[in-house]
Structure 1
Amino acid sequence: RCCTVARAPGPTRGGASAQPSPASASAIENPCGTAPGIRARLCEADVFCLPGVPDEMKAMFDRDVLPVVRIQAGGRVVRQRLLRCVGLGESDLGEKIVDLMARGRNPEVGTTASSGEIGIRINAVAESVAAADRMLDETERELAGRLGSVIYGRDADTLAGVVLRLLRGAGATLATAESCTGGWIGKLLTDCPGSSTAYRGGVVAYSNDLKTGLLGVPAEMLAQDGAVSASVAQAMAIGVRERCGADIGVSVTGIAGPGGGSAEKPVGLVYIGVARADSVEAREYRFGADMPRTAIRLRAARTALNRVRLLLVEEESSFDGRP
């Protein structure tokens, strides 16, 4: 068995470890930096502690850890795949695939969660690359059958990248209207090279007068329903779609905290609107009053992108005649 740990004690000014090493440990030279790694034996496992700097850790892993893993695997091949999911909580998702995560199963299946997204790791051990890939394919098909559109991509895919790919496939464009997310949706989209082929642009309208002046949200609506409401989210989505000349408009308005909430409209309350030329819809989300401001904003941005993704997937399925 082999166990890897991502961090080692930091170096002192002279480059030596700031903490004593276990008596059974040996140092691992760092070819890219000053912080050494450590290899030790713990019970029946080899333990490797590597610096946290990604480039340094990868170089040391490839040179010093991977060969040991291969030897201990007895010549067998270890292949990994990551499925990316959004729109379902980790516990709810886990209930759907609990049998696939059984201890000792090959392929091994596990989950990790981060700000509204869940990664499903599949690790297969086999006698050859082809055999391992067949095992990965079979498990991925089973997961896809259970989770459906909750899975949005795999490995290096990003949610924004998938949305842009779907937009290009549909020959459609997108515009964004943001309040509490402050331009985060636009950032996620423009982080992707070539986003200008499908992303028209956006409006960050934080104040009510800009919601009216830039997006056409009626002042009476703001006075009656408040900026954080389904009606305002709908009006923002319609307004940005029309003003940016896009096929789809998506909007976000909410209370990111830590202040500004009330019993009726608590911190974490967010409305997301999506508008097409012939339809508009807004949905309410409650991300939790105790969640940090940054986490609420990131979850809102990702949820908005997922709303657009699901719309495009549904339209694609209808066009193809699929149920």
Structure 2
Amino acid sequence: MTEVVHAKQSRERANAGTARVAAIHTEADGVVSLVLTDPAGGRLPDWAPGAHIDLVLPNGCTRQYSLCGDRWDARSYRVGVLREPASRGGSAYVHETLREGELVGLGGPRNNFPLVPARRYLFVAGGIGITPLLPMIAQADLLEADWSLLYGGRTRKSMAFLDELARYGERVRIAPQDEVGLLDLPRFLGEPREDTKVYACGPGPLLDAIAVTTSGWPRQAVRTERFTARDRAAGVRDTSFELTLARSGRTVVVGPDQTVLEAVASTGVDVLSSCRQGTCGTCETTVLAGRPDHRDSILDDDEQQAGDCMFPCVSRALGDRLVLDL
């Protein structure tokens, strides 16, 4: 269950640009951080905790990474990159080929995971899921909110940014699986409280366990961000439908075995995309007419009901026609 945040507020768009890789640091086994700056030394777009950017790597891959640096530093971004064993070319390129001084494409920032005001926060991170939570923790600490972090990982050596977190003392609970086993979520989360918000990011099994543990909490109290798509039920409709691109004046039929994103590309219209699994929000598109069949892992129930945006990498149409602002 997620906090209700209007789509137009939670996913700000910015024009794609270029950034220079100013530094690459090893943060843990299999994790590096990239420090990105404007090639001309100028300011980068402002961002808030929970935001992410799209990196267009020199090998052509576009990947989404959470911003995990100092949000008040207007001249640099920092992201953490896990070396994925089954990399499709993104993390492998970053770890093996990318070098300091190179230029990368930059999209965003946009925020699907905003930190909302609360008197008390409970943060839960699994592995590289610590990255979006780092600036949230800094913000909560700055505002003198009551907060705690439970951070799990396979081993202590695989858990990034432990040195940074050490300054927070007992507010941070480090729980490597090879030392303590699975995270004790019921004990950490406790009973629901009206003044408490839960923010969690990590692998699917962890977020599924959090959903079970917090099933009795108010629906606005728990917010999660997934790096991989949750299992989706069968779509409402998988037949062909007509797609109209309002700005370009083109119409195309989306076949039953074709994504909307593929159909749009066939007309020569480019839409920036990254995960193609409905998790990153990069390809978010405004819906002008028709009802989308939402199959993403981003929008909550209220946002899906609004029907004013969709993610064409996975979602389709409930009816015979959709009109998109493309």
More strand by share: 2
Give the TM-score of the pair, scaled to structure 1: 0.25
The structure with the largest alpha-carbon Rg is: 1
Give the TM-score of the pair, scaled to structure 2: 0.25
Structure with greater contact order relative to length (CA < 8 Å, sep ≥ 6): 2
